[in-house]
Amino acid sequence: MKQIPLRVHVTTMGCSKNLVDSEVLMGRMSAAGYKVIHQDAMEYADVAIINTCGFIEDSIVENIRQIMEITHAKDHGIVKKVIVMGCLVQRFKEQLELEIPEVDKFYGVDEMEQILHDLGTEYRQELLGERMLTTPPHYAYLKIAEGCDRNCSFCIIPEIRGRNKSKSIEELVNETKYLVRQGVKEIILIAQDTTRYGVDLYGKKSLAELLKALEKIDGVRWIRLQYTYPDNSLYDVLEVMKNSSKICHYLDIPLQHINDTVLQSMKRGHSKKIISDLLDSFRNEIPDIAIRTTLITGYPGEGQAEFEELKSFIRQYRFERLGVFAFSPEEGTEAAKLNDDIPFDVKENRVSEIMELQKDISREMNLKKIGNSYTAIVDRREDNTWILRSQYDSPEVDTEIYVKDQPGLTEGQFVKLRITAADDYDLYGEITGE
């Protein structure tokens, strides 16, 4: 049996799905007796592991910069061995091995067992579902599947992560019970596309069934849904969400665009009508729901008329949370073969126009919340201010509620509060009770 290294430093790049992969790997290394550090400043380590993202050009540049920083630490004897794993390696392994020989070993996305073996320990089945949490102890991401069955023209993820692979409902119930034993109260369901959950295992979309199973678990207070896709199976989810006391009235549904011609070119497989009907149903059936979406502007063929249509859609549907990106052709995608005919500055102007529009919508919505009371969870304290979230807000990306210093609050506590003030994106409040 190889000598077990003492200290391992792990850096996670990219999305929450990558974070869960790191947490699983760290959980197993910690169970094997390693001293595992996550994300902190680089200090002496026997092994430094970077779990990479390779989604879009910007993230590739950022990841290469991070790898160089850590190999630099190796040159200075701060780390002995550098391992790079994840999506960037899955895309560019040969090139990376040629261009960055300072890295000791590169691993793709499905090589956790090999990494553990090469570091002198083994993959123990009985540790299934166990993780070293990196989020504040009261919330955690639950990765319900990996990979994607869709083939959106601009997206490289199916190439990197393969087809949709779901975890069984039983495995996810056990993982959630484990998380609750660690003190987790809010679980956030993630995947590349949560609406395709279960198709590979149960022959049908089973997100609604999974939600029903998870909400039965004692100790779970909030269940949050992210990364849904405009799909008819969401009507089943709507029924479960409507009748649940635990599933947050929150829906993260990246829509990318609304014009039918652009949607078709994006190979999204649905129309403006399907999207509008879905959104109308969620709004009518759950009037207080918060809907988050993500859009792409500047996609080939998005003329001024299509852009105007996108803006009027945003004005009409008034999303509580909205992110927008300028289209950038990703090597290896269908869309990269299209004529990227919209000048960069036009794309940038369209992004700023949409964010200006969204800022006004967000402010108007926030101002209407003044005087309202909500249940909120205490996330953290900064200086003399507590930072909380309501069921309408995901951690790290959505609105936060600031409460001036208040004795007796603790992280992960649920409280009642009243909104006293608002600005474009955040809220201010006072605690009114437990």
Residues making contact with ligand SF4 (CB under 6 A):
148, 150-152, 155, 157-158, 192-193, 229
- State how far the Cα of 276 lies from the Cα of 431, in Å rounded to an integer: 37
CB of 19 or CB of 422, closer to ligand SF4: 19
CB of 121 or CB of 226, closer to ligand SF4: 226
Shortest separation between residue 147's beta carbon and ligand SF4, angstroms: 9
Shortest separation between residue 150's beta carbon and ligand SF4, angstroms: 4
**Edge-to-edge strands, sheet with 321-326:** 250-252, 290-297, 321-326
- State how far the Cα of 14 lies from the Cα of 85, in Å rounded to an integer: 12
290: DSSP letter: E
Shortest separation between residue 377's beta carbon and ligand SF4, angstroms: 28
For residue 360, the SS3 value is: helix
CB of 71 or CB of 164, closer to ligand SF4: 164
CB of 18 or CB of 390, closer to ligand SF4: 18
Q: How many residues does the chain have?
A: 434
Nearest Cα neighbor of 377 from 157, 188, 216 is: 188
Nearest Cα neighbor of 201 from 231, 171, 181, 222 is: 171
| Strand ranges, E, within 320-372 | 321-326
CB of 152 or CB of 377, closer to ligand SF4: 152
Shortest separation between residue 80's beta carbon and ligand SF4, angstroms: 36
Instruction: Report the b/e string of 106-133 with b at 16+ CB within 10 A.
Output: bbebebeeebbebbebeeeeeeebbbbb
What is the enclosing helix (H) or strand (E) of 418? strand 414-422
Shortest separation between residue 154's beta carbon and ligand SF4, angstroms: 7
Shortest separation between residue 108's beta carbon and ligand SF4, angstroms: 17
What is the enclosing helix (H) or strand (E) of 306? helix 304-317
CB of 157 or CB of 376, closer to ligand SF4: 157
135: DSSP letter: S
Task: Give residues with Cβ within 8 angstroms of 304, minimum separation 6.
Answer: none
CB of 60 or CB of 133, closer to ligand SF4: 60
Task: Give residues with Cβ within 8 angstroms of 39, minimum separation 6.
Answer: 10, 11, 12, 134
Shortest separation between residue 243's beta carbon and ligand SF4, angstroms: 27
